[in-house]
Amino acid sequence: MPATPFSCSYLILQPRFNSYFNPLFRSFTYQLSTSPLSFNGIKFTAARVHSSLSPAAETDSQSGGGGRSGALSPGPIVAGEVQRIDVNPPKGTRDFPPEEMRLRNWLFNNFKEVSRLYGFEEVDFPVLENEALFTRKAGEEIKDQLYCFEDRGNRRVALRPELTPSLARLVIQKGKSVPLPLKWFTVGQCWRYERMTRGRRREHYQWNMDIIGVPGVMAEAELISSIVTLFKRIGIKESDVGFKVSSRKVLQEVLKCYSIPESLFGKVCVIIDKIEKIPVDEVKKELMAAGVSQEAVEELLQVLSVKSLTGLEEKLGSSGKAIADLKQLFSLAEKFGYSEWIQFDASVVRGLAYYTGIVFEGFDREGKLRAICGGGRYDHLFSTFGADDIPACGFGFGDAVVVELLREKGLLPDLSLQMDYIVCALDEDLQGAAAMVAHVLRKKGQSVDLVLESKPLKWVFKRAARNNAQRLVLVGSSEWQRGVVGVKILATGEQYEVKLDELI
């Protein structure tokens, strides 16, 4: 069957230009029409499209949405030879059409530039890892959210839900060939089968910075400083966000008083982290089921409500490592110049089992969003993978919550498409000449939208306006014979002729 030319009036794809910009999107009902078209060997059915904002789509958009609105993803529907596809990405995932890609690149460039300013080297790992890398036994939520499956070689694999285990794997693999301390950063996609809420989705990108091989608090202080630098670069102030800081050593000291074995530590922290998500009585029950005495549970919960370092000192005494570390961090924060960004809050524990020391989370001061970023010290992760321990700390900073915050504050940057030139042949015979003009300009670093077909001038001007092109070059036959082209500065309307080799 011959392919039918693509017709806009027949196949209208869902206008989802907004998982970053505006979470509102529409879902559509389809009516089959008659003409199939083929593309890259797949047959599509051109469908007349009727839009209707479905309640499910509204729910998704309110919750940060993206992806399909239905709970189950239907497979392709095959009617005769025609395969009708669902044009939405899977629930909780995003497409990045150009305007969203520009925002993503802007954000990632800021992540990368801050990492460069702090002297970090970029690394990356595969999105697909061996499942065993993530199957810790502390009852963390992240393990239940794993996208995991058996590959064709019967290996258990998983899409990474976070980057830290991969980083640890690579550090172990490199062994002594890399000099410590390592300062590594990465920006990568992570997958978690999450309950969708605002800023939480099933795939997200995380910017991570990690320092491997530094046992002292200077490392944490440097990491928090880098996040503050990022916030400032993108226009977020200390009146918008702050960091809640604590240390897991606080809990360790309480547990030690009640002779609770070290081996329970990670598990207890993971249970305690649920305090704001499930009723306190449930948390108490889980703690006792894990082997923590009722007395110790009450003491732990009391300590977690402390909101000042002096209050903590009153509870734990002033001699412990937790207090010493935290005091040093607050003192360093003054030297780094970000004291007003951080506050002590004993309730910050974090939901990952591997943290051992200082932990921190970035939060919006209006309390509308989930954590913007989080991290801490994880000095014993390496030994859980069978290697020698190396002191380490780092953070993860997602791409979704910060964009919600920027939108809330009216701080989204204006990232409209920009083009230096649009180049158009006035005659079909001059298309080769127009290509030469584009080539000359591109060699000089100018971005050029070359008009690839014969089009009326009205169309060319409309396209130039859409692309925010600065200049229009018209290649006409009499000018070309004289070795010149016509240039129009689109903002002012000024026109002039210029020789090909004098174009800039």
List contacts with ligand HAM (CB under 6 A).
Answer: 162-164, 192, 194, 199-201, 204, 206, 208, 210, 352, 371-375, 394-398, 400-401
Q: Which is nearer to ligand HAM, 201 or 380 (CB)?
A: 201
Do residues 59 and 68 lie in contact, with contact meaning Cβ atoms separated by under 8 Å? no
Q: Which residue is nearest to ligand HAM (CB)?
A: 398
Q: Which is nearer to ligand HAM, 284 or 350 (CB)?
A: 350
Q: Which is nearer to ligand HAM, 102 or 160 (CB)?
A: 160
Q: How far is the CB of 66 from ligand HAM (least distance, A)?
A: 10
Q: Which is nearer to ligand HAM, 44 or 363 (CB)?
A: 363
Expressed in angstroms, the distance from the first to the final Cα of the chain is 49
Cα–Cα dist 115/140, whole Å: 29
Instruction: Count CA atoms within 13 Å of residue 409 on its CB side.
Output: 23
Q: How far is the CB of 203 from ligand HAM (least distance, A)?
A: 8
Cα–Cα dist 448/443, whole Å: 10
Task: Quote the strand ranges of 314-467, DSSP E.
Answer: 342-344, 358-364, 373-377, 392-398, 419-425, 448-450
443 Cβ contact list (under 8 Å, min separation 6): none
Q: How far is the CB of 182 from ligand HAM (least distance, A)?
A: 12
Q: Which is nearer to ligand HAM, 352 or 460 (CB)?
A: 352
Cis upstream peptide for 181 (omega within 30°) = yes
Cα–Cα dist 204/191, whole Å: 7
Q: Which is nearer to ligand HAM, 236 or 352 (CB)?
A: 352
Q: How far is the CB of 41 from ligand HAM (least distance, A)?
A: 34
Q: How far is the CB of 210 from ligand HAM (least distance, A)?
A: 5
Q: Which is nearer to ligand HAM, 229 or 356 (CB)?
A: 356
Q: How far is the CB of 414 from ligand HAM (least distance, A)?
A: 24
Q: Which is nearer to ligand HAM, 163 or 433 (CB)?
A: 163
User: φ and ψ at 145, to 5 degrees?
Assistant: -100, 10
Q: Which is nearer to ligand HAM, 11 or 402 (CB)?
A: 402
Q: Which is nearer to ligand HAM, 223 or 440 (CB)?
A: 223
Cα–Cα dist 372/399, whole Å: 9
Q: How far is the CB of 204 from ligand HAM (least distance, A)?
A: 3
Q: Which is nearer to ligand HAM, 192 or 471 (CB)?
A: 192
Q: How far is the CB of 369 from ligand HAM (least distance, A)?
A: 9
- 3-state class of 469 per DSSP? strand
Q: How far is the CB of 363 from ligand HAM (least distance, A)?
A: 10
- 3-state class of 141 per DSSP? helix
Crossing angle between the packed helical segments 265-272 and 294-304, to the nearest 10 degrees: 60
Alpha carbon separation from 135 to 129, 148, 161, 384, 466 (Å, rounded)? 11, 11, 11, 11, 50
Q: Which is nearer to ligand HAM, 408 or 479 (CB)?
A: 408
Four-residue CA torsion sign, 271, 275, 281, 284? positive
Q: How far is the CB of 163 from ligand HAM (least distance, A)?
A: 6
Going by C-alpha positions, the residue among 208, 214, 273 that lies closest to residue 246 is: 273
Cα–Cα dist 28/72, whole Å: 16
Q: Which residue matches tokens 């899977």?
A: 90
Q: How far is the CB of 218 from ligand HAM (least distance, A)?
A: 16
Cα–Cα dist 469/488, whole Å: 11
Task: Quote the strand ranges of 193-233, DSSP E.
Answer: 203-212
3-state secondary structure labels for all residues of 12-26? CCCCCCCCCCCCCCC
Cα–Cα dist 68/73, whole Å: 8
Q: How far is the CB of 78 from ligand HAM (least distance, A)?
A: 34
